[in-house]
Amino acid sequence: MQQRLTVAQVLARFDREVGLEVTPRARGAAGTNAFDAGVAPEAAGLRAPTARSSMGGTGTGVAAAPDSRLTPTRMPVAAPVVARPSATHAHAYPAAVLGPAGDSSARAALLAEIEARHASTCPHCTTATGHAQLVFGEGAASAELMFVGEAPGEAEDRTGRPFVGAAGEKLDEMIRAMGLRREDVYVANVLKSRPPDNRTPMPDEVAGCGPFLVEQILAVRPRAIVTLGGPATKFVCGVETGISRLRGTWQTWTPPAGASCEPIPVMPTYHPAYVLRTYTKQVRAEVWSDLRAALAKIGRRPPERATAVEA
């Protein structure tokens, strides 16, 4: 009966077979083993090096004579290298997005460019079906405060504007209670197209569309972000913790590599739809406390009393 080997045993046997236990024939001129000496494993009939077998050596460029033991016939059956489906899409952030923030009109122009590019290239929204239109986001291009929700719902899909349904009316109340107007802030969602039946966005949808939200954050450069609900908080803060534990605690949005932008403080709070569903004094008091903290972060004094949210 064939003996079942552990992965470690398979790899150890693989190392022995391909000459990582160095033998004279496997050595290159510089005394390294065949991989270090510049013999591409594929050329020797081997699969591409795995993270483990690729040793990161600089190599010498001197090709060693292929060792007969590197032929496929002598190859042990190594543990298969499984390419796991990735939930991330490579997203190329344009230099204009990564660079220093411009003035208000430059930021507005950048947002318009991002919106057009999103519509034509977003891996999720260009392939998603069932929505009527895209809902990019709206508001002051140089807003100090940005609100981030999850995805458009029915009313947003119909109008092309974020947060205009019942949850949007609640968000408007929250913004007014803060002593701000809707046009003073920027409002966007993680997903720009409505998920079927308003379901929670899937990881691959977020991975495809989410980078465009990152671009919006970079374009607006708010002083603080308020995330509305769990999915928005998870994406913006890169955490898995649930919203009921995270709300009211300062988190951080970390810019992508190469961005000339400081990390931005994030205040997670409940989604306005949750506030409507769970209309308790405690939930409203917690949301108001989160909004007050966000106001303080951008250097504004909160109004003494917020009737719409707290009452």
Q: Does residue 138 contact residue 111 with C-beta atoms inside 8 Å?
A: no
- Burial of residue 113, with CB atoms counted within 10 A of its CB: 0-12 exposed, 13-18 middle, 19 or more buried: middle
Residue 163 Cβ vs ligand URA, minimum distance, rounded to whole Å: 4
| Cα dihedral 227→230→236→238 (10° resolution) | 150
Least gap, CB of 158 to ligand URA (angstroms): 11
The arrangement of strands across the sheet holding 264-269 comes to 138-139, 186-189, 145-149, 224-228, 264-269, 251-253
Nearer to ligand URA, 152 or 222 (CB): 152
In the complex, the smallest distance separating the C-beta of residue 135 from ligand URA, rounded to whole angstroms, is 6
Minimum CB separation from ligand URA for residue 161, in Å? 8
Q: Which amino acid is at 194?
A: R
Residue (192 or 292) nearer to ligand URA, CB: 192
**How near is the Cβ of 138 to ligand URA at its closest, in Å?**
10
Q: Which is nearer to ligand URA, 191 or 259 (CB)?
A: 191
Interface contacts to ligand URA, rule CB under 6 A: 149-153, 156, 162-163, 165, 167-168, 189
CB neighbours (10 Å) of residue 281?
A: 9
Identity of the residue, 39 or 151, whose beta carbon is nearer to ligand URA in the bound complex = 151
The angle subtended at Cα 120 by Cα 114 and Cα 125, nearest 5°, is: 95
d(CA 109, CA 215): 13
Tokens of 137: 């986001």
Tell me whether residue 156 or residue 286 sits nearer to ligand URA (CB atom): 156
Nearer residue to ligand URA within complex by CB, 114 or 213: 213
| Minimum gap (Å) between residue 156 Cβ and ligand URA | 4
Query: Nearest-CB residue to ligand URA?
Result: 149
